[in-house]
Amino acid sequence: MATQNPKGTRDFLPKDERVQQYIFSKWRETCLAFGYEPYEGPTFEHLELYTDKSGEEIVDQLYAFQDKSGRNIALRPEMTPTLARMVAAQGHSLPKPVKWFSMPRLFRYERAQKGRLREFFQLNMDILGAQSLDAETDLLLAICALMRNFGFKPTDFRIGLSNRRLLNALLEQLGVENRNAVYAALDRRAKIGEEAFGELLAEAGMSPEARKTLNDAMGCASLGELEPFCVSDEARAALDELRFVLGRMAALGHGESVGLDLNIVRGLAYYTGLVFEVFDAAKSMRAVAGGGRYDDLCAKLGGEKVTGVGFGMGDVVLKDLLEEHGLLPDVSRDRLDYWLVSFDGDVETLFRTAEALRAKGRRVAHPLELRKFAKQMQEADRSGAAKVLMLGSDKAPEGSVEVKDLRDGSQGVVPLDQL
Amino acid sequence: MATQNPKGTRDFLPKDERVQQYIFSKWRETCLAFGYEPYEGPTFEHLELYTDKSGEEIVDQLYAFQDKSGRNIALRPEMTPTLARMVAAQGHSLPKPVKWFSMPRLFRYERAQKGRLREFFQLNMDILGAQSLDAETDLLLAICALMRNFGFKPTDFRIGLSNRRLLNALLEQLGVENRNAVYAALDRRAKIGEEAFGELLAEAGMSPEARKTLNDAMGCASLGELEPFCVSDEARAALDELRFVLGRMAALGHGESVGLDLNIVRGLAYYTGLVFEVFDAAKSMRAVAGGGRYDDLCAKLGGEKVTGVGFGMGDVVLKDLLEEHGLLPDVSRDRLDYWLVSFDGDVETLFRTAEALRAKGRRVAHPLELRKFAKQMQEADRSGAAKVLMLGSDKAPEGSVEVKDLRDGSQGVVPLDQL
């Protein structure tokens, strides 16, 4: 019990943490390649930042508490409210648009299960202050680049695109008053099954005909099929948004990875436009990423109106997916350039040689208490080093050192200044 | 109010976050150069992990709360208990010694002031399972390397070394029963002044003569001066530990940076041997790092006995010190290799060119909605890019592009495949 981590959290031993660092470095590298700038915020925020703005489900899952001064505090369950708060606080002094990224640790008190933990990391990429739908294009291209940089093929994943605005317009056409109830039902549809889904729509006041029309529209696999359902100007304008972004992505060579998926709703309350989710091709796991446009969030936090669009990509499903595709690199080897061992028990010379090699930019370590030579070589094997330097060997003349390559087992004598 | 971060926390705008990333990358690079392996743990732990093992002050400063299942949880105020827990959980299956590092975010509810925040980052380097005092040597060398890698000179900082075991032996010689009260008084000495300090010692049951002897011993600036105070075998053995490590560090060329400082006590309850703190040379700030040996912590957590020694280096004082010494690099420039602008308003070509350059490993960005050319060039200046590529210019023949170097203002025409 004393050695147990809290439920839904993870201990990262070095073999696990090296995998995390691999994921983080790919995330960071891709963001920087697209010109996104890094930011961070506090791990906890004032509770009010979430209670009005996030979705109901996420608010139910908050780790919330009072601090010693009685402030209502919550561990951040998502990054977007923090981002919107920071941008709103800058006001006009921050030239727009901005492209920002962060890799926050997030917290949700929910049932721990495959792909879902109570504490996880999430890459967030966002563009604030851009009206153009090419903000969406930039983010979708970044998702394609992320997946490619991890080694996935364009057919290994699928980005499904929908539009909150279109859904809203369709529900308006159908005369639905209680749209939030319908969104909640749609978001839970896959989990609860068709019967319960139909009942929820009926409870939301939808007639059997309205339900059938909605169902038919949601089942459309192409923009062409969907077009007849879009009667109002608003619905047609929303359809055009989908057409624009899908067309742009196809023109840029990503038609294979991006498509229409009207079943995507997104649980969060603040989305106002296009929404999207990324799944493995077989859709056998939870979404690996998801996001959309939130044009009203900054203004709701008391700032000026600043448009926003962004997505989050969690580390948990991503790691499962990388494992399934055999795409996790072997992170156990070549962590060190040299491991030093000693024939003559002179520890100070180990320290001195290590310092000299580090000054030349090498990664070097050595035992801190000397055992028998055979034991030292066992330690060397475990060290993950590329080569062992054997100090104090009488085979090596002054100024030289005996070297064993741990990758191929070859041995030789090398002048120290050539290391 | 809605746009305010919680008291004692920080928002990191990109200009701030780039500085953080600079600090983190130097931390990581140095740890890897010494062969320390990365690990991480949960942001919160079961409250019991801290209440018995950490110092009183740190327990008073805990962010503690109950989760939705009534578990007592605390945001981690320090990393060592998590590390000891993880190593204890591995038991014999983990070959020792291990050299591990982490860069956790930590939380302490205390009065926010210069050098002290409620949320901060802290590099932790630890060696577990090594008996030899050369574990201390390895860590002290790493501190010297960290400071050097940040650009500090050996005389810019000072590592003060003391020994809990020696203090304990001196108090035993003086017949002091309530040693924890004396440690607490010593730890607060600088803050509370000599008069209050003397009163606390008297309250702990120390006679005027015992207080004078302790004071004289604590005032010793060298091992030679200290020697006559060390009467018991235990005291002499503890003195030898200090002599060994100070001697080793001097022999390895770090005599300028490391010295005896018996006023260092360290607030944490679990230290058992050498303790040390790192200050700026003028001692004008709080400690930039501190640590020591904790040989009993793993066993206290229900594991086998595994020796430990390690230190923490916080980001807050370090950043202040880097600023004071003018050692923070200019992180605003060369974030991008290329910023693209367009003469002819063809956004798709911007996207296409950016993708092609990124495939070659370049960092590239461009506007998402095209303004007049002069406005585009203003954006380019703000972008932090090294060069601007001007697409659609009639000065550049097919397959070439007009390039402006933003660092020196020079302009020219370059074939696209040579970028």
pLDDT value at position A254? Answer: 97
Q: Is B352 on the interface with A (CB under 8 A)?
A: yes
Is A312 found in the same domain as A278?
A: yes
Instruction: For chain B, give the mean pLDDT.
Output: 93
Is B343 found in the same domain as B308?
A: no
Distance CA B15, CA A94 (A): 12
Is A359 found in the same domain as A298?
A: no
Residues of chain B contacting residue A353, judged by C-beta atoms under 8 Å apart: none
Q: In angstroms, how far apart are the furthest CA atoms of chain B?
A: 93
Residues of chain B contacting residue A46, judged by C-beta atoms under 8 Å apart: 4, 6
Q: Do B68 and A109 touch (CB under 8 A)?
A: yes
A261 or B266, which is more confident? A261
Residues of chain A contacting residue B41, judged by C-beta atoms under 8 Å apart: 5, 9, 11-12
How far apart, in Å, are the Cα atoms of A316 and each of A8, A16, A286, B336?
12, 12, 10, 30
Amino acid (1-letter code) at residue B287: A
Q: What is the mean pLDDT of residues A147-166?
A: 97
**Shortest CA distance to B262 belongs to which of B336, B354, B165?**
B165
pLDDT value at position A234? Answer: 96
- How many domains does chain B contain in total? 2
Is A316 found in the same domain as A251?
A: yes
Query: A299, A281 in Cβ contact below 8 A?
Result: no
Is A177 found in the same domain as A132?
A: yes
Write out pLDDT tens, residues A190-219.
888 999 999 999 999 999 999 999 999 998
Strand arrangement of the beta sheet that strand A44-46 belongs to: A44-46, A72-75, A64-66
State the pairing for strand pair A385-391/A400-405.
antiparallel
Per the domain annotation, does A69 fall within a domain?
no
Per the domain annotation, does B404 fall within a domain?
yes
Is A410 found in the same domain as A308?
A: no
Q: Is A35 on the interface with B (CB under 8 A)?
A: yes
* Mutation for A interface: B18, B39, B51, most A CBs within 10 A: B39
Interface of A with B in 128-147 (CB under 8 A): 130-132, 134-135, 137-138, 141, 145
Distance CA B185, CA B197 (A): 6
Distance CA B182, CA B172 (A): 12
Write out pLDDT tens, residues A369-404.
989 999 999 999 999 999 999 998 888 888 899 999
Per the domain annotation, does B389 fall within a domain?
yes
Per the domain annotation, does A46 fall within a domain?
no
Residues of chain A contacting residue B252, judged by C-beta atoms under 8 Å apart: 348, 351-352, 355
pLDDT value at position B313? Answer: 98
For residue B56, pLDDT beyond 80: no
- How many CB atoms lie under 10 A from the CB of residue B161? 22
- The domain that contains B219 carries what CATH number? 3.30.930.10
Model confidence band, residue A20 (pLDDT cutoffs 50, 70, 90): very high
Half-sphere CA count of A373, side-chain side, radius 13 A: 11
For residue A1, pLDDT beyond 70: no
Is A363 found in the same domain as A314?
A: no
Model confidence band, residue B1 (pLDDT cutoffs 50, 70, 90): low
Distance CA A31, CA A37 (A): 8
- The DSSP secondary-structure symbol of B5 reads P
State the pairing for strand pair B308-314/B336-342.
unpaired
Model confidence band, residue B115 (pLDDT cutoffs 50, 70, 90): confident
Is B280 found in the same domain as B165?
A: yes
Interface of B with A in 67-86 (CB under 8 A): 67-68, 71, 73, 75, 85-86
The β-bridge partners of B400 are B415
Residues of chain B contacting residue A9, judged by C-beta atoms under 8 Å apart: 41-44
Is B215 found in the same domain as B170?
A: yes
- How many CB atoms lie under 10 A from the CB of residue B419? 17
Q: What is the mean pLDDT of residues B406-417?
A: 92
Is B309 found in the same domain as B175?
A: yes
Distance CA A377, CA A24 (A): 33
pLDDT value at position A372? Answer: 92
User: Could you give the angle at which helices B164-173 and B233-251 cross, rounded to 10 degrees?
Assistant: 150
**Shortest CA distance to A159 belongs to which of A244, A258, A256, A281?**
A258
User: Which domain-ending residue is among A290, A324, A358?
Assistant: A324
- The domain that contains B347 carries what CATH number? 3.40.50.800
Per the domain annotation, does B291 fall within a domain?
yes
Write out pLDDT tens, residues B206-252.
999 999 999 999 989 899 999 999 999 999 999 999 999 999 999 99
Is A205 found in the same domain as A132?
A: yes
Per the domain annotation, does A98 fall within a domain?
yes
Amino acid (1-letter code) at residue B309: V
Q: What is the 3-state secondary structure (H, E, C) of chain A?
A: CCCCCCCCCCCECHHHHHHHHHHHHHHHHHHHHCCCEECECCCEEECHHHHCCCCHHHHHCCCEEECCCCCEEEECCCCHHHHHHHHHHHHHHCCCCEEEEECCEEECCCCCECCECCEEEEEEEEEECCCCCHHHHHHHHHHHHHHHHCCCCCCCEEEEEEEHHHHHHHHHHCCCCCHHHHHHHHHHHHHHCHHHHHHHHHHCCCCHHHHHHHHHHHCCCCHHHHHHHCCCHHHHHHHHHHHHHHHHHHHCCCCCCEEECCCCCCCCCCCCCEEEEEEECCCCCCCCEEEEECCCHHHHCCCCCCCEEEEEEEHHHHHHHHHHCCCCCCCCCCCEEEEEEECCCCHHHHHHHHHHHHHCCCCEECCCCCCCHHHHHHHHHHCCEEEEEEECCCCCCCCEEEEEECCCCCEEEEEHHHC
Q: Is A124 on the interface with B (CB under 8 A)?
A: no
User: Which domain-ending residue is among B324, B356, B386?
Assistant: B324
Of the partner residues A35, A252, A355, the one whose CB lies closest to the CB of residue B364: A35
Range of the domain at A174: 14-35+87-102+111-324
Interface of A with B in 208-227 (CB under 8 A): none
Distance CA A295, CA A310 (A): 11
- Number of Cβ pairs < 8 A linking chain A and chain B: 240
Q: Do A351 and B66 touch (CB under 8 A)?
A: no
For residue A237, pLDDT beyond 80: yes
Q: Do A88 and B3 touch (CB under 8 A)?
A: yes
B96 is written with which tokens?
Answer: 């020792």
Q: Is B148 on the interface with A (CB under 8 A)?
A: no
Q: What is the mean pLDDT of residues B112-130?
A: 93
Per the domain annotation, does A174 fall within a domain?
yes
Is B70 found in the same domain as B126?
A: yes
Instruction: For chain A, give the mean pLDDT.
Output: 93
**Shortest CA distance to B346 belongs to which of A293, A96, A251?**
A251
pLDDT value at position A310? Answer: 98
Q: Do B14 and A138 touch (CB under 8 A)?
A: no
Per the domain annotation, does A200 fall within a domain?
yes
Say yes or no: ipTM exceeds 0.90. Answer: yes
